[in-house]
Amino acid sequence: MFIPKYTITNRILKDIGIVEAAREVIMHAPLVPAWEAKFRKEAIERTIHHGTHLEGNPLSEEEVKDVLEGHEVVARDRDVQEILNYRNVLKFIDGVAAQVGTGQAYQLTLETILEIHRLTTEKILPDEAIGKFRIRQVVVKNTKTGQISYTPPPAVEVPYLVEDLINWINSDEAKASHPVIKAGIIHYELARIHAFTDGNGRVARAVATLIMFLDGYDIRKFFSFEEYFDENPMDYYLTLQAVSNQLVLDTHERDLTPWLEYFTEGVAIELNRVKEKVQRISVDARVKDKLGEQLVLNERQMLIMEYLHRHNGMSNRDFRKIFPDHSDDTVLRELKFLRQKGLVKKAGGTKKAHYVLK
């Protein structure tokens, strides 16, 4: 049976502490529905963009948003299809987590992993390769030098290795592990096994995300650890390969500690970013207290409130910084609405007007 070998180092403990502190702030932050929806939408967009860009998809963040919103984008059909597919993957894991119930006991199945792969590679791979294990040996090469950087296990071993991993995931030992550490172990092992001809990275990250969701670490679905990996993809791949290429007699003797240090750091950095963003707009709590109810602000009004909270004021000359594509009259209309609601007050005359939180 698969039993991961690793050490809980001071570095891992520190990052898990950061994760827990950030999670506490995020989970209990009083956000109006519009902000919550905005954060989730942005997290989905970031996950899809960085999760596919990490694997070589050339579409920019803006192009990814356009694809997700149904707009035409000048790009290869495959690149567009990868974006649509990963959106379907995220919908699927969200549905699995909702069906099981957050934090409740669960049994991960082989069918779930195969379905994630099917959704990831639909209309990209031949039908006989979609949602099915590879049946031939593959190698991982450096795209620039052509040098083989990693040779995965033989194809004949793949079903047994995946079954071993699933048995561990559903074991008491795994259920007692911290969700972030468990997600990191799952990500590494799926990437190491390289069970499919293509889409292995996306499947590994999706299954790791699903496990965090099932273990009660969906964290309001505000996070995307793919962004951290994509910021320096060489670190991501080299850390995975360094562990996989350790010279050991048995694969279970590989020490996962370096990878888990890297993985937990990435989750800590991402959640800390989200925590700081949530704290910047904690003005929502004051909005609710002042009005006695939650107020749904539109996109421009939210940006104004965030700017005022961060900079403690706004003058007319700041309009262009925040809204380069909107007229002054549009911004003044939004400020008038916020003033009428008692959230913002104005000081000074028309030309030298200064707006602050009330």
We report the CATH number of the domain holding residue 248 as 1.10.3290.10
Let me know if residue 102 belongs to a domain. yes
Q: Give, in degrees to the nearest 5, the angle at Cα 209 between 207 and 210.
A: 60
Q: Which of 204, 238, 266 is the last residue of a domain?
A: 266
179 and 298 both lie in a single domain: no
Domain encompassing residue 296: 283-357
Residues 54 and 160 in one domain: yes
What's the pLDDT at 348? 81
Q: Distance between CA atoms of 129 and 117, rounded to whole angstroms?
A: 10
Span 9-44, pLDDT tens digits: 999 999 999 999 999 999 988 776 777 888 899 999
**Residue 88 maps to a domain:** yes
Mean pLDDT over 116-131 rounds to 97
Of 237, 266, 295, at which residue does a domain stop? 266
Residues in the chain: 358
Q: Is residue 18 part of a domain?
A: no
pLDDT at 300: 85
Same domain, 163 and 222: yes
Model pLDDT, residue 143: 67
Residue 295's pLDDT band, with cuts at 50, 70 and 90, is low
Q: What is the mean pLDDT of residues 198-215?
A: 96
Same domain, 100 and 188: yes
pLDDT at 100: 84
Is it the case that residue 288 has pLDDT exceeding 60? no
Q: Are 46 and 226 in contact (CB under 8 A)?
A: yes
Tokens of 145: 């030098």
Q: Is the domain of 106 the same as that of 248?
A: yes
Flag whether pLDDT at 296 surpasses 70.
no
Q: Is the residue at 106 inside a domain?
A: yes
Here the contacts of 6-13 (C-beta below 8 Å, separation 24 or greater) are 6/181, 6/185, 6/255, 6/256, 6/257, 6/260, 7/255, 7/257, 8/181, 9/257, 9/261, 11/261, 11/264, 11/265, 12/181, 12/257, 12/260, 12/261, 12/264
Residue 82: pLDDT above 70? yes
Domain boundary among 203, 233, 266: 266
Helix (H, G, I), strand (E, B) or coil at 119: helix
Q: Given pLDDT bands bounded at 50, 70 and 90, which one contains residue 282?
A: low
Tens digit of each residue's pLDDT (9 = 90 or more) over 344-358: 999 887 678 899 987
At residue 149, the pLDDT reads: 85
CATH number, position 294: 1.10.10.10
Exposure b/e, 299-310, CB count within 10 A at least 16 = b: ebbbebbbbbbe
- Phi, then psi, of 141 in degrees rounded to 5: -115, 155
CA distances from 143 to 6, 14, 149 (A): 30, 35, 10
Q: Are 157 and 304 in a shared domain?
A: no
Q: Where are the beta strands (DSSP E) in the chain?
A: 140-141, 148-150, 314-315, 344-347, 354-357
Q: Region 183-198: what's the mean pLDDT?
A: 97
Residues 292 and 224 both lie in one domain: no
- Judged on CB neighbours under 10 Å (0-12, 13-18, 19+), 111 is exposed
Going by pLDDT thresholds of 50, 70 and 90, the confidence category of residue 236 is: very high
- Determine, yes or no, domain membership for 1: no
Distance, in Å, from the CA atom of 98 to the CA atom of 81, rounded to the nearest integer, reads 26
> Is 181 in the same domain as 321?
no
205 and 56 belong to one structural domain: yes
Residue 186 pLDDT greater than 80, yes or no: yes
Within-domain flag for 258:
yes
CA atoms of 133 and 118, how far apart (whole Å): 11
Residue matched to tokens 């948003």: 65
State residue 166's pLDDT score.
97
Same domain for 172 and 50? yes
- Residue 303: pLDDT band with limits 50, 70, 90: confident
Residue 245 and residue 291 share a domain = no
Query: Residue 202's pLDDT is what?
Result: 97
Number of domains composing the chain: 2
- Whether residue 11 lies inside any domain: the answer is no
Q: How much is the mean pLDDT over the chain?
A: 90
Distances from the Cα of 299 to the Cα of 19, 148, 296, 334, angstroms:
29, 48, 10, 10
The Cα 187–Cα 178 span in angstroms is 14
Structure pTM?
0.83
pLDDT band at residue 96 under the 50/70/90 scheme? very high
Q: Do residues 240 and 300 share a domain?
A: no
15 belongs to a structural domain: no
Tell me which residue of 199, 29, 73, 61 sits closest to 130, measured CA to CA: 199
Phi, psi of 136 (to 5 degrees): -140, 165
